[in-house]
Structure 1
Amino acid sequence: MHFSIPDTTEASAETNSNQQSYTLFNIHVNGVHHCSLRYSQLHKFNEELQRLLPTAMTNIEQFPPKKFFSLTARDTEERRMLLEYYLQSIVQNKYIITSSYFNEFFFNAQIETFSNEPLDNHQKINLAICLLNNHEIIIENLSTNDNKSRLLDACGLKMQLEEDFLSFFSLYFYEQKDNELNMIRPIYDFESPYLSFKQTKKSCEQSCIVFKKSYWNPEFDLQFLDDRRARNLLFIQAQYEIEQSRDLYSSDIYQQLEILRDNKSFKDYILLARTSNFYGHIIIRKCSMIYPINDAKKEKLRQCVLAIGNNEVICCFDADEKKKNQNLIFKVTRIRCWKVNWTKQDMNISLEYLIKKDTLQWITIHTEQAPSISTFLQSMVDEILAKKSETTNSTVESVTPTMASEKTASKAFAGLATRTESDLERLNNNDIFDRGDGDDDL
């Protein structure tokens, strides 16, 4: 996610009988206004983080200091820029953005910003949630200040989905265009889905909230096949992904899939769809990048389609006269780091990629979905680290059979694993790269 403070708003407040003006800093998340806060509120936020997470705050950008005199227009602009740098460094730290304090602070800030009067918890609303086949589910009796977790639970209850399966799904903003759904971004834990939805519709009128799976590892699919409701949701997603990638992958598989769909053989449909090249991938169109990336004489900016999934980023270029298909595949395990660049003229994501042994090169992909791609890469890294952690734990457990059986029972179907503190330190220190383990992976 990309935090920015593109502008400020001057406001006035009554202090006894005097009118006193103050500055609100308008905080945007991925280009959409999330909340407006005073400097004093952000100052208190910083102090609390220093108290609660002192280690995590060690490498954060310095918070702009207080000033004793009134700020000039130039001082206010400087403070705006410094606060923006501060917040951008904050949201790069996984410890901080997963803390309850961070989520509560920005959730409450959004509620206060867009509520003209105190919210009445008895005031109920209905919210339409879409599936990837454009089917709508109406979630009733929600409060305007319900968070993402509350809405997700309500979706699971409405669809009668078992709680264990619900942990594999999440909520996203999509755009409905020409009878197609295209992802805008995930819904975060620190926001009100209702308020964010209203803000998103201002810039994207045809937006909607979509309920879909949130994992990348296709091995999880196999746990859904024997449960009718979970299997139906997986079928809807598989069908959507097949349609999205059909123009990128020519195969006889589509005719077979249509027969299985017409026969309502959903389980067989899913198993066959899993053999498709782009199954489990998110397709992002209207992208461009320099191609070829290793020939300075022929380099030029070319349009491409991104397919993200299976721990890789695939750049699909239009076919030319000489080659039928031009795909570049970037493995997530060979990306040392990445960064999102956001200006008024352009938005892009740059990947520092291990082209070959001891050779790193920056690859820049220009797309409005750069922040979402960053989120996808992070979640894939989380899954890779969680899987490695499980492998290590299983090795230890095999030495102590009694403990192993107890742990296996408690983890039988606990959903997605979360990143542990040791995983975070391992990634932040980048010791995998520093040791140079192997030619293929960092």
Structure 2
Amino acid sequence: MHFSIPETEVRSDENGSTYVAYNIHVNGVLHCRVRYSQLLGLHEQIKKEYGHNVVPAFPPKKIFTLTPAEVDQRREQLEKYMQAVRQDPILGSSEMFNSFLRKAQQETQQIPTEEVQLEIYLFNGQKVKVNILTSDQTEDVLEAVASKLDLPDELVGYFSLFLVQERGDGGCTYVRKLQEFELPYVSITSLHSPDYRIVLRKSYWDTAYDSDVMDDRVGLNLLYAQTVSDVERGWILVNKEQHRQLKSLQEKGSKKEFIRLAQTLKYYGYIKFDPCITDFPEKGCHVIVGAGNNELNFHVKLPSDQMKEGSFKVTRMRCWRVTSSQVPVANGTANPSSSSKCDVKLELAFEYLMSKDRLQWVTITSPQAIMMSICLQSMVDELMVKKSGGSIKKQMQKKRLNGSFQRSDSQQAVKSPPLLDSPDPSREQVVKLSTKLSSVSLRGLSSSNSASDISGNDFHGNYAFEGIGDDDL
């Protein structure tokens, strides 16, 4: 997650007194507005709980009214403070920090605590309506969805809630995975757009975990619906014969066999991102990035219009970072409470071991840069858990709350998705991913490891995990 405080506002309280509000953005979107005194209170709580030596430096109080220059200086100092707290493995995941952000989010959006109904979407188009409180955090909502679907407790940790934006072309853009410091109802309501949805999707990368999920009826239906959706939207690459086999299995209702066949296909389990820009292998290249199988996969259009495909293994990334910059909107708004005064330019850069003795930085410029970073971090976390002999089930047992939702008497079954549409015989399914790239055809992409291809032998192998996960710098 990328925390920033790009702007301040002069606001009035209930007594008519004015004060400076600091707008905290997460991933370039307004999360909450807070006063200096609120952040100071958080800082004092953290010091009391964790000690003076743990917390980062906090900007001091001032006796006199701050000048505009001093306000901006304090804004920068508070931004660094929030980033430092979030990056700390103890402070950033503490309930003290997360509850502060949740409360501030609710107060900023002025949404009272009350019972509401929230719609969570599945990949077969079905909506699961759960009764929650507006103040329920992400894990609470996930628990409520699992309860409504009758998903076993031990499988809840295999799934997460994601915020997605529906596009006019029928596709969707993954905005982010909902975090522990936010309230899903408040997050979706504050966007004021019907294009955004909260969807339930598996949150692991290793296909070996599919077996755990498929052992349960509800888990099987969820994974099956997601797999069918990924095939239909072209995220999983299939040829005509494979498509025929998949459709035959679907007609027979052979869900496990359908998934097992899909597991053998290219890009199974990947998340595909919207077309964006990269500086590899040359500056200004258009690229379609996919995350999966412990790698970032590139479909690159070179300035010469030549197409290349290749992969960057997470085990060969020494570190990565996400940076943001504010780009003024040409016809900006006069609304002082708007969070869209500036467009946010986001970049994901990672240092990659190209060969035995050569490291190189690769940069991706994309509004989804932070989502890409989250994918990388979760891949590394999963690899490290597996290396230490752990599992998702064991992690979930540690994280679970003492209390749990009661199972509803009227469970909502997960329906099977409709049959696959026949593939367009004139193109490969992956072409769907390049609709935003003019005059781009991905047919004929080489899967070889030749020296001329991005996925050459220098791009594979194992590398130490030193420094991995430095994504919030």
User: TM-score interval w.r.t. the shorter chain?
Assistant: 0.7 to 0.9
Matched, 1:316 2:315: no
Deviation per CA, 1:272-298: give whole Å up to 9, x if none.
000111011100022211232xxxxxx
Matched, 1:233 2:222: yes
Residue of structure 1 aligned with 2:198, choices 192, 198, 209: 209
**Aligned to 1:278, what secondary structure does the other structure show?**
coil
Structure 1 residues 358 and 50: alpha-carbon distance in aligned structure 2, compared to 1, 3 A threshold: farther
| Contact map agreement 2:6 2:24 (CA 8 A) in 1 | yes
**Aligned to 1:170, what secondary structure does the other structure show?**
strand
Q: Name the residue aligned to 1:441.
A: 463
Correspondences of 1:178-189 after superposition (within 5 Å): 178-189=169-180
**Aligned to 2:151, what secondary structure does the other structure show?**
coil
Residue of structure 2 aligned with 1:174, choices 158, 164, 170: 164
**Aligned to 2:326, what secondary structure does the other structure show?**
coil
Q: Name the residue aligned to 1:400.
A: none
Distance (Å, rounded) in 2 between the aligned partners of 1:211 and 1:248: 22
> Aligned-residue CA RMSD in angstroms?
2.6
Segment drifting more, 69-78 vs 90-99: 90-99
Q: Name the residue aligned to 1:134.
A: 125
Q: Which runs of 5+ in 1 are unaligned?
A: 293-298, 392-410, 420-437
Q: Name the residue aligned to 2:106.
A: 111
Cα distance, 1:240 vs. partner? Answer: 2.1
| Contact map agreement 1:56 1:93 (CA 8 A) in 2 | no
Q: Name the residue aligned to 2:256.
A: 267
Q: Report the AA paired with residue 71 of structure 1.
A: L
Structure 1 residues 283 and 14: alpha-carbon distance in aligned structure 2, compared to 1, 3 A threshold: closer
Deviation per CA, 1:366-396: give whole Å up to 9, x if none.
11001111111111111111111117xxxxx
Percent identity between matched residues is 35
Cα distance, 1:360 vs. partner? Answer: 1.3
Q: How many residues align?
A: 386
Q: Name the residue aligned to 1:4.
A: 4
Between the two structures, name the one with larger relative contact order (CA 8 Å, sep ≥ 6).
2
Q: Report the AA paired with residue 306 of structure 1.
A: V
Cα distance, 1:259 vs. partner? Answer: 1.5
Segment drifting more, 268-277 vs 299-308: 299-308
Distance (Å, rounded) in 2 between the aligned partners of 1:246 and 1:12: 49
Matched, 1:327 2:318: no
Matched, 1:253 2:275: no
Cα distance, 1:319 vs. partner? Answer: 8.8
TM-score by length of 1: 0.81
Residue of structure 2 aligned with 1:74, choices 37, 55, 69: 69
Q: Report the AA paired with residue 463 of structure 2.
A: D
Matched, 1:13 2:13: yes
Distance (Å, rounded) in 2 between the aligned partners of 1:41 and 1:300: 44
Q: Name the residue aligned to 2:286.
A: 303
Correspondences of 1:247-396 after superposition (within 5 Å): 250=239, 252-292=241-281, 299-318=282-301, 326-345=308-327, 346-390=345-389
**Aligned to 2:228, what secondary structure does the other structure show?**
helix
Distance (Å, rounded) in 2 between the aligned partners of 1:138 and 1:264: 26
Distance (Å, rounded) in 2 between the aligned partners of 1:319 and 1:249: 25
Q: Which runs of 5+ in 2 are unaligned?
A: 328-344, 400-459, 465-473
Structure 1 residues 210 and 47: alpha-carbon distance in aligned structure 2, compared to 1, 3 A threshold: same
Q: Report the AA paired with residue 356 of structure 1.
A: S
Distance (Å, rounded) in 2 between the aligned partners of 1:418 and 1:383: 15
Residue of structure 2 aligned with 1:28, choices 10, 21, 25: 25
Q: Report the AA paired with residue 51 of structure 1.
A: K
Distance (Å, rounded) in 1 between the aligned partners of 2:369 and 2:120: 25
Cα distance, 1:187 vs. partner? Answer: 0.7
| Contact map agreement 2:280 2:363 (CA 8 A) in 1 | no
Distance (Å, rounded) in 1 between the aligned partners of 2:243 and 2:53: 49
Q: Report the AA paired with residue 189 of structure 2.
A: K
Q: Name the residue aligned to 2:333.
A: none
